[in-house]
Amino acid sequence: MPKRKDKAEKPSEPDEGMVAIGPDEAELDARRPMSKRQYDEELPKLQLELSKLQEWVRARGLRVVVVFEGRDAAGKGGAIKTITLGLNPRVARIAALPAPTEREKTQWYFQRYVAHLPAAGEIVLFDRSWYNRAGVERVMGFATMDEVEEFYRSCPEFERMLVRSGVILIKYWFSVSDAEQERRFQARIADPTKRWKLSPMDLQSRSRWVEYSIAKDEMFRHTDIKQAPWYVVSGDDKKRARLNVIHHLLSLIPYQDLTPEPIVLPPREPDRGYVRPPMNEQTFVPDVY
């Protein structure tokens, strides 16, 4: 089981008079894009640990919330898909809420998110969350500044209340450079199967990069609390980001291996004279391939 890691400490500045040296080989290797071979070797190991974590959460009745926020095209969706790939959807589910309805707009702001919080033995991964108010709603003018200021006051208390109630709350912010975001946007435009990922809001995030940066900094200032800190993920290398997030998530929730013992299948009962109906009476999917 991965050991829990605290938030990374800021590296110390070199003492006056020390000669600065270039990055060592390990640092240079970390900057290179991860190879598919290395990724394919590491991912199954982490996914095995995720399955153990899932069984621990289910057996112990834990309630886990993982919030994924960040820049558009920073890799949030891919990380969520990778985490849930081999998990039981009855235990680990994704909450990706659409724009609020007219009725929901009149509710207490957090109300529609509360309905998706986990019960005992569940993990909920929020693909965007209540932080919409501090990001897109603020930048695009969908919320007034009074509403945003109220969010800054209410959100820390809301999250502290969740933690006090026993919810394990983990928050990830995916960061991506403007150059890499531009490259990914262009790749989506070039691929007809991915153009649906470019919404009008995504295009606005490109043209309002600085405004979103200011909103993010202000959001962190109010909501990076001790009970539920923000963990920033460097998303320029998608493969590294996915592996790093999974490893970090595993480190935050102590768990034990409750994998069931291998199962011996019982013998099949005799056919007792059963005759299958004629196959031409059934409708089959055509063998096109």
| pLDDT tens figures, 46-55 | 999 999 999 9
pLDDT of residue 283 exceeding 80, the answer is: yes
Query: DSSP H helical segments within 106-208, as ranges?
Result: 111-114, 136-140, 145-164, 178-190, 200-207
- For residues 110 and 154, the answer to whether their CB atoms sit within 8 Å is yes
Q: What would you measure as the largest C-alpha separation in the chain, in angstroms? A: 91
pLDDT of residue 160 exceeding 80, the answer is: yes
CA 210 to chain CA mean position, Å: 24
- For residues 104 and 164, the answer to whether their CB atoms sit within 8 Å is no
Please list the residues that pair with 233 across neighbouring strands: 174
- For residue 251, the 8-state DSSP code is H
| pLDDT tens figures, 90-133 | 999 999 999 999 999 999 999 999 999 999 999 999 999 999 99
**Domain segments of the chain as ranges:** 43-100+111-258
Please give the residue that has the higher pLDDT: either 122 or 201.
122
- For residue 122, the 8-state DSSP code is E
Residue 251 has what pLDDT?
Answer: 98
Degrees, nearest 5: CA angle 160-218-233: 75
At which residue do the structure tokens 């609020």 appear?
A: 100
Provide the CATH number for the domain formed by 43-100+111-258 in this structure.
3.40.50.300
Degrees, nearest 5: CA angle 30-2-53: 120
Structure tokens belonging to residue 228: 């539920």
